[in-house]
C-alpha cells in the first residue's frame, strides 16, 4: 500500500517541502541489474549505485533510478542546468551554484526508509580541485568529459539486501505551498490507453511463451481435453474469452462497445475494458484494500469460468446439460452440450 496517506502527507508537508511517498514489496525475482535494465531502456540518464563497505563487501542497499528532474553540468567555467525542456547556464563557481540550488529543498525524514530516497548523484572530476588550489594544467583532455555532472532525482528504487525488500520511493516537491495543497484525482484512462496497455501485456506474454516453446505454433503445446471431449463447449469457452459472439447468426462477431468504440485494439463490453486474443483487462474496477467483502467479490469474478458450473449437469451417458435462462420468457431452457445443432438454435434465440 502506498504510504503516507493524503492526510498524513498534508501533515508532513508542514514540516518541509520534499515529502517521500513510497511502497514496498518482496524482492524475490527482481534484481538490481534487472531493474536498471528496465528503467534505463528508454531513459537518457540513469544510474545504478551500490553501497560498499571496505572496498570489497557489498553493503545493505543498492539504488537504481532513471529520468532525473534536473541535470547539472560544469564545463569550461560554466554551470549548466538542464530540466523541464529548458537549458540555463551562467558563468559562476559550481559549488556556490549548487549550494544555492540545493537550498530550495527541505526534506522530511521518515523513520524506516533507506538512507537515500532523493538527491543528486554524479561525479566531480579531479580538475575541479583547481577551483580551490592553483595547480598547473599540463594534462591533455582526450575524452572531452564535463568537469562535474550531478543528476537530481526525486524518485528511485532501493533494494534492501538484509530484509530482501524493494522500496519504490517518489519524493513530492511542494515548494512550500502546504496551505494550498489539494487532492487531485488522476483522470481515468481512455479506452485507447487501456487498449495500448493490453496490447503490451499480450505481446510480452506471447514473447515469454515463445521462449519456453509454449506458443500456439509450438509442437509441444498439450492438447485441450475440453475441445476433444466437447467441441461445442470449447467453442463457447473460446468465444467468451475472446469477447466474441459464440453461436447463431452473429457467431464470431466481436463486441465493439465503449466510450471510444473505434480505439485500436478495443474489443470491449464496457468502458475501460478490453479484450485481445484471449487476454482481458479491466481498468474500471477499484476496490479499497480494507473492503474485504468487495475484494472477495472481485476475486470470485476474476476466477469465474466462461460457463457457470451451476448451470452444468453431467448425465449418466457422459453428456452434459446446460441450463440457460431466456431473457424474453423469464424461464430456463435445458440444452444438451453433446448436440451442437440444438445449442446453435437456443443461442440464436429459438425456443424449439
Tell me, yes or no, whether 95 lies in a domain. yes
Residue 110 in contact with residue 5, Cβ under 8 Å? no
Tell me, yes or no, whether 1 lies in a domain. no
Last residue of a domain, one of 270, 296, 322: 296
Residue 104 φ then ψ, to 5°: -65, -30
Which domain covers residue 222, as residue numbers?
191-296
Q: Are residues 124 and 55 located together in one domain of the fold?
A: yes
Q: Are residues 312 and 226 located together in one domain of the fold?
A: no
Cell of 176: 512550500
To which residue does cell 502506498 refer?
Answer: 2
Last residue of a domain, one of 180, 205, 225: 180
pLDDT of the chain along its 352 residues, tens only?
788 988 888 889 888 889 999 999 888 888 899 999 999 988 889 999 987 766 666 688 999 999 999 999 998 888 889 887 788 888 888 888 889 888 989 999 999 999 999 999 999 988 888 888 888 777 777 777 888 999 999 999 999 998 889 999 999 988 755 556 676 777 878 888 888 888 888 888 888 888 887 765 555 556 666 566 666 667 776 666 555 666 666 666 655 444 444 444 445 566 778 877 778 887 877 777 778 888 888 787 777 766 666 677 777 777 777 776 554 444 445 554 544 333 333 333 333 3
Q: Are residues 245 and 226 located together in one domain of the fold?
A: yes
Tell me, yes or no, whether 227 lies in a domain. yes
Grouping H, G, I as helix, E, B as strand and the rest as coil, residue 133 is coil
Q: Are residues 291 and 314 located together in one domain of the fold?
A: no
Cell of 68: 532525473
Q: Are residues 95 and 121 located together in one domain of the fold?
A: yes
Separation of alpha carbons 104 and 173, rounded Å: 10
Burial class (CB in 10 A: 0-12, 13-18, 19+), 68: buried
Total structural domains in the chain? Answer: 3
3-state helix, strand, coil in the chain (%, to 5): 25, 30, 45
Query: Which secondary-structure segment (H or E) carries 340?
Result: helix 340-347
| Integer CA distances (angstroms), 61 to 64, 105, 124, 168, 211, in order | 10, 24, 23, 13, 32
Tell me, yes or no, whether 186 lies in a domain. no
Q: Are residues 270 and 337 located together in one domain of the fold?
A: no
Q: Are residues 128 and 204 located together in one domain of the fold?
A: no
Tell me, yes or no, whether 302 lies in a domain. no
Q: Are residues 259 and 143 located together in one domain of the fold?
A: no
Tell me, yes or no, whether 185 lies in a domain. no
Cell of 158: 532501493
Last residue of a domain, one of 180, 206, 223: 180
Tell me, yes or no, whether 156 lies in a domain. yes
Q: Are residues 43 and 114 located together in one domain of the fold?
A: yes
Grouping H, G, I as helix, E, B as strand and the rest as coil, residue 12 is helix
Burial class (CB in 10 A: 0-12, 13-18, 19+), 123: exposed
Q: Are residues 65 and 153 located together in one domain of the fold?
A: yes
Separation of alpha carbons 170 and 20, rounded Å: 6
Q: How many residues does the chain have?
A: 352
Amino acid at each position: 500500500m502506498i504510504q503516507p496517506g493524503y492526510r498524513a502527507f498534508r501533515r508532513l508537508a508542514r514540516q518541509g517541502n520534499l515529502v517521500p511517498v513510497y511502497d514496498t514489496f518482496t524482492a524475490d525475482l527482481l534484481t538490481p541489474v534487472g531493474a536498471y535494465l528496465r528503467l534505463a531502456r528508454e531513459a537518457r540518464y540513469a544510474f545504478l549505485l551500490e553501497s560498499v563497505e571496505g572496498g570489497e563487501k557489498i553493503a545493505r542497499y543498492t539504488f537504481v533510478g532513471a529520468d532525473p528532474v534536473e541535470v547539472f553540468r560544469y564545463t569550461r567555467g560554466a554551470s549548466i542546468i538542464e530540466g523541464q525542456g529548458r537549458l540555463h547556464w551562467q558563468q559562476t563557481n559550481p559549488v556556490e551554484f549548487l549550494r544555492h540550488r540545493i537550498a530550495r529543498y527541505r526534506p522530511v525524514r521518515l523513520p524506516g526508509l533507506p538512507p537515500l530516497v532523493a538527491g543528486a548523484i554524479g561525479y566531480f572530476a579531479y580538475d575541479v580541485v583547481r577551483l580551490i588550489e592553483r595547480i598547473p594544467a599540463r594534462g591533455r583532455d582526450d575524452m572531452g568529459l564535463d568537469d562535474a555532472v550531478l543528476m537530481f532525482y526525486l524518485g528511485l528504487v532501493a533494494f534492501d539486501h538484509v530484509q530482501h525488500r524493494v522500496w519504490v520511493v517518489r519524493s513530492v516537491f511542494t515548494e512550500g505551498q502546504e496551505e494550498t495543497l489539494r487532492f487531485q484525482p488522476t483522470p481515468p484512462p481512455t479506452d485507447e490507453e487501456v487498449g495500448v496497455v493490453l496490447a503490451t501485456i499480450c505481446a510480452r506474454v506471447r514473447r515469454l511463451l515463445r521462449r519456453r516453446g509454449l506458443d500456439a505454433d509450438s509442437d509441444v503445446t498439450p492438447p485441450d481435453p475440453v475441445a476433444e471431449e466437447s467441441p461445442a463447449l470449447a467453442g463457447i469457452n473460446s468465444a467468451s474469452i475472446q469477447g466474441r459472439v459464440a453461436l447463431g447468426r452473429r457467431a464470431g462477431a466481436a463486441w465493439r462497445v465503449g466510450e471510444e468504440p473505434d480505439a485500436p485494439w478495443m474489443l470491449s463490453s464496457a468502458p475501460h475494458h478490453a479484450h485481445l486474443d484471449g487476454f482481458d483487462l479491466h481498468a474500471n474496477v477499484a476496490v479499497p484494500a480494507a473492503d474485504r467483502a468487495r475484494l472477495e467479490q472481485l476475486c470470485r469474478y476474476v476466477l469465474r469460468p466462461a460457463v457457470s458450473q451451476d448451470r452444468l449437469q453431467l448425465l449418466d451417458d457422459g453428456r452434459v446439460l446446460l441450463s440457460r435462462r431466456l431473457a424474453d420468457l423469464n424461464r430456463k431452457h435445458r440444452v444438451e452440450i453433446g448436440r451442437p445443432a440444438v445449442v446453435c438454435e437456443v443461442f440464436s434465440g429459438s425456443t424449439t
